Chains A and B, each alone.
Chain A
Amino acid sequence: QKEVEQDPGPLSVPEGAIVSLNCTYSNSAFQYFMWYRQYSRKGPELLMYTYSSGNKEDGRFTAQVDKSSKYISLFIRDSQPSDSATYLCAIAAGSEKLVFGKGTKLTVNP
């Protein structure tokens, strides 16, 4: 079993839709939970991070962590065409090493 599992999609939604992106992980020692956005041929860009179970909101983005079920989610409200990108979850266990999911490719259609 891989440490982090993420459905690669692709996911295609109409503009204005609510998008839900998800990852599961296997190691209970993971402490830091992050979401990155990566545009084609660019480096990953940090969107949000959290340490604890619960929700964290930043504008149209909400990150949710459920440590009991080892499940993390990113919700995007009122999705825009500019949100079209690959979204990567990344998790760390206290070392300096991030473990990334495969990424989910999202397309928001105007």
Chain B
Amino acid sequence: DTGVSQDPRHKITKRGQNVTFRCDPISEHNRLYWYRQTLGQGPEFLTYFQNEAQLEKSRLLSDRFSAERPKGSFSTLEIQRTEQGDSAMYLCASSLQDLTEAFFGQGTRLTVV
């Protein structure tokens, strides 16, 4: 499978715990995006990387959220001290040229209990 890969697909965690998600973009795609999608809503932009540089962040990305792309390949999104409001689908996308050709992964569904 040469698409965008996200791991895990599902995560259930207790409130207050830390969680980390991983995204493997399509090989050679230098742009990587994270979005969050809650039930009945469209995806909301969280952050964007070009290679290893994090170039844009949404104000949705509070201090509890941190994203990295250390070698310009895979990316991780960590949420510290999870809250019930963090329950959502976390989507990763990658592209080579621009966002008009971004491919999304299947997402990581987070449930905070």
Partners in one complex: yes
A22-42 vs B, CB cutoff 8 Å, 1 = contact: the mask equals 000000000010101000011
Task: Determine chain A's interface SS by DSSP, over half rule.
Answer: strand
B74 interface contact, C-beta 8 A: no
- The digit string for B36-47, where 1 denotes a CB below 8 A from any CB of A, is 000011111100
Are B42 and A97 in touch, CB under 8 angstroms?
no
Let me know if A44 is at the binding interface, CB within 8 A: yes
Does B106 sit at the interface, judged by CB under 8 A?
yes
Cβ A100 vs Cβ B106 within 8 A: no
Q: Which residue of A lies closest to B106 (CB)?
A: A43
Least Cβ–Cβ distance between A103 and chain B, in angstroms: 5
Q: A96 near B31 (CB under 8 angstroms)?
A: yes
Using Cβ atoms and an 8 Å threshold, which residues of chain A touch B105?
43
A95, B91: Cα distance in complex, Å: 19
**Chain B 67-78 interface 0/1 with A at a Cβ cutoff of 8 Å (1 = within):** 000000000000
Chain A interface, number of residues (Cβ within 8 angstroms): 25
The answer to whether A49 touches B100 (Cβ under 8 A) is yes
B28 at the interface (CB under 8 A from A): no
Contact of A95 among B41, B42, B56, B102 (CB under 8 A): B56
Question: What are 22 of the A-B contact pairs (CB < 8 Å)?
Answer: A4-B42, A36-B104, A41-B109, A42-B106, A42-B107, A43-B105, A45-B104, A46-B101, A46-B103, A88-B42, A88-B43, A96-B98, A96-B99, A97-B48, A97-B58, A97-B99, A98-B35, A98-B43, A98-B102, A99-B45, A100-B44, A103-B41
